[in-house]
Amino acid sequence: MQRKRKLWEINMSSRRQVHFLDAKENGCTNNAQQKQQSLQQRKEKQSPSKASWDQLEILGGVKIFPQGLCSMSFLRYLYMSHNRISVIPPEIAQLKNLVHLDLSYNMVKILPPEIGEITELKELHLQCNQIRCLPMQLGRLFQLTVLNLNHNPLNPDMLQLYNSETTQSMLSWLLDSEGFAMPPPQVASGAIWAVAAILTRSRAMSTTSGSNGTTSGANGSTIHGTAFTVMCYNVLCEAYATKKQYPYCPSWALQWEYRRRGIMDELRAYQADILCLQEVETEQFGVFFRPELAKAGYEGIFSPKSRARTMTANESKYVDGVAIFWKRDRFTLVKEDLIEFSQMAVEKYEKDCKANHQMINRVMVRDNVAIMAIFEVLEESTGQRRQLVVSTAHIHWDPEYSDVKLIQSIMLLSALWKKIENHLREQNPQADKVDVASMPTIICGDFNSLPDSGVFEYLSRGRVNKSHLDFKELGYAKILDKLTPRRSQLAPTEEHLEHDFNLLPCYFGSNNCTNFTYGFRGVIDYIFFTADHFNNIGYLDMIPESWFAQNGILGCPHPHISSDHFSLLAELELLPASGSSSNHGNGDERQTS
């Protein structure tokens, strides 16, 4: 404490001190000081971003918590020790930026539950008060490192807990003991299925819904397509769901036995025809996901990350990977394949990318994977069997490796293009050439990339500048054309990297997030589809932001939300084969070479 006090004394110039002279008169200030304090509060309230100070010390035997103090949300340090305050108002929750609160040597008897909303708090000094009980909401202060409750008449159970546990252990106990009486979010409980009534047509189609349930194209002709639903969901692997990573979540809500029930309830509730899952643990795929989903009519395939091959059987069962499940009564699996980005990086480097060592130093050491499945589905309008490709990927997570994310995404499309081409040649061995672009394709997963990233630009627009900032000026431009699918290899351009899949995102224009933790909130999960072959009929709306705000949700996982990601659910319409040749581009007016 002496060392920290010394630091505060050095910064005294940034601390405002208010001395209440007439404390005996019911804790009121004299008029001059009252006017001066009121003027200062109004000034800071009007322009808090320009506040030249963030520390405040209140002295003088104050009895009543000063009115207006809670509006000074810019405060980070508040010292109110050695006063006579007995009541802390619930409005103290408005001091969202406080990191240090000293209420020691007062007469406080009860702490308001709202104190748990000051989640930036790191030090809380409450010694020498009259506190008997603590609100369970105190456990939400997961960043608290100092909690001083000495010389308070705590009840025996709380006193024993305080004396025998560390601060973090005590906070964890309080958080685990807090009741969660709030209702689950409407989407999670199935109350919002507005997706069934919302048509979100791609910007390439300009279609409307007919009264008979069919879809009318831009030319007025009726399209009798085959509709099905696709879900993309990062379920949060058990190994990553730790108290260290998610300290704001109760320990019991992080346990896999609890979370897996919520995950499976969600999968069963939506009954998607195709499920694309990420962070599925190897063992859990075999003992939980596959048998449980089989009861609901699903079959599935799975692949762990590449590191699993270097481990013992006992170690590898904890490695996470990606999985695809499908309704067996709707789809027939024709072929499955694995895409290992680390292996592709080595192969590309050895073959024709030795001009850039980053393929080895940065890309090869990331063992992310993707899988693809080729399905047959019965076309409802003709009774014929159609084939389509579904792929799911989990791209590297680290924000410092934006180049790796982009290279992995480029290799993903390159590998898919090549595997589809090989499949079509196997089916048509006598054909001189095959049309890869004629294969309906769905690509989804956790891309760990925001909508303003090079990854999203490349996938959704079909091109990305070779000097994009995400490449980090690491010399990738020399080898990019050799990594991409057909277009850049046959007709490379000096400025851009291109592909021919003509993809559109299902959730295009959505302002909500797909990943929500205390330190991050954004869209990083996507479902893409080839615009020439599918209509985007609609998608399930995200959990309303009002639910998080009203219930003070700091992040996920949460007792009502089993992962730090939200599931994406889209309904797509596979257009009849005869309509796939029409021009349903994404606005880039790209020509197929």
Chain mean pLDDT for the chain:
83
The pLDDT of residue 192 is 41
Render pLDDT for 196-249 as a digit per residue (tens, 0 to 9): 333 333 333 333 334 344 544 333 334 467 999 999 999 999 999 999 999 999
Domain of residue 83, CATH code = 3.80.10.10
| Range among 34-48, 390-404, 425-439 with highest mean pLDDT value | 390-404
Q: Are residues 157 and 232 in the same domain?
A: no
Render pLDDT for 483-508 as a digit per residue (tens, 0 to 9): 876 554 556 667 889 999 999 999 86
Could you tell me which of 16, 46, 48 has the C-alpha nearest to residue 33? 16
Residues 564/516, Cβ–Cβ less than 8 Å: yes
Section 366-391 average pLDDT: 92
**Residue 592 predicted with pLDDT over 80:** no
Place of tokens 């990318």: 353
Q: Are residues 267 and 401 in the same domain?
A: yes
Tell me which residue range forms the domain holding 133. 53-177
Measured CA to CA, the distance from residue 140 to residue 492 in angstroms comes to 55
Which residues are CB-contacts of 521 (< 8 A; sequence separation ≥ 6)?
513, 515
Give the predicted TM-score (pTM) of the model.
0.83
Q: Are residues 163 and 241 in the same domain?
A: no
Measured CA to CA, the distance from residue 212 to residue 222 in angstroms comes to 10
Q: Are residues 232 and 120 in the same domain?
A: no
Is residue 187 very low, low, confident or very high in pLDDT (cuts 50, 70, 90)?
Answer: low
Last-in-domain residue among 145, 177, 209: 177
**Cβ neighbours of 422 (radius 10 Å):** 14
The pLDDT of residue 195 is 39
Q: Are residues 130 and 253 in the same domain?
A: no
Question: Left (φ > 0), alpha (ψ -120 to 50) or beta: where does 292 sit?
Answer: alpha
**What are the phi and psi torsion angles at 561 (to 5°)?**
-130, 120
Specify the 3-state DSSP secondary structure of 254.
helix
The pLDDT of residue 221 is 36
Place of tokens 């003991």: 177
Residue 16 included in any domain: no
Measured CA to CA, the distance from residue 500 to residue 530 in angstroms comes to 10
Measured CA to CA, the distance from residue 107 to residue 132 in angstroms comes to 12
Least confident among 138-147, 550-559, 572-581: 572-581
Residue 7 included in any domain: no
Q: Are residues 165 and 229 in the same domain?
A: no
Domain of residue 560, CATH code = 3.60.10.10
Q: Are residues 388 and 525 in the same domain?
A: yes
Q: Which of 446, 481, 500, 525 is catalytic?
A: 446
The pLDDT of residue 590 is 36
Is residue 510 very low, low, confident or very high in pLDDT (cuts 50, 70, 90)?
Answer: low
The pLDDT of residue 350 is 81
Q: Are residues 272 and 173 in the same domain?
A: no
Is residue 308 very low, low, confident or very high in pLDDT (cuts 50, 70, 90)?
Answer: very high
Between 519 and 264, whose confidence is greater? Answer: 264
Residue 26 included in any domain: no
HEC profile of 248-295:
CCCHHHHCHHHHHHHHHHHHHHHCCCEEEEEEEEHHHHHHHHHHHHHC
**Residue 167 predicted with pLDDT over 60:** yes
DSSP letter assigned to residue 95: -
Residues 504/528, Cβ–Cβ less than 8 Å: yes
The pLDDT of residue 6 is 31
Residue 156 included in any domain: yes
Measured CA to CA, the distance from residue 453 to residue 405 in angstroms comes to 10
Specify the 3-state DSSP secondary structure of 132.
coil
The pLDDT of residue 544 is 82
Q: Are residues 144 and 292 in the same domain?
A: no
**Residue 312 predicted with pLDDT over 90:** yes
Measured CA to CA, the distance from residue 372 to residue 363 in angstroms comes to 21
Render pLDDT for 429-480 as a digit per residue (tens, 0 to 9): 988 889 999 999 999 999 999 999 999 999 999 999 999 999 998 888 878 8
Specify the 3-state DSSP secondary structure of 421.
helix
The pLDDT of residue 179 is 78
Which residues are CB-contacts of 160 (< 8 A; sequence separation ≥ 6)?
none
Measured CA to CA, the distance from residue 419 to residue 431 in angstroms comes to 17
Q: Are residues 164 and 283 in the same domain?
A: no
Residue 590 included in any domain: no
Q: What tokens appear for 362 in the block?
A: 């940065």
Q: State the pairing for strand pair 15-19/55-59.
A: parallel
Residue 2 included in any domain: no
Residue 163 included in any domain: yes
Q: Which helix (H) or strand (E) holds 538?
A: strand 534-539
Concerning whether 446 is annotated as a catalytic residue, the answer is yes
Tally of domains in the chain: 2
Residue 593 included in any domain: no
| Range among 4-13, 383-392, 509-518 with highest mean pLDDT value | 383-392
Last-in-domain residue among 146, 161, 177: 177
Q: Are residues 541 and 407 in the same domain?
A: yes
- Residue 562: what residue type? S
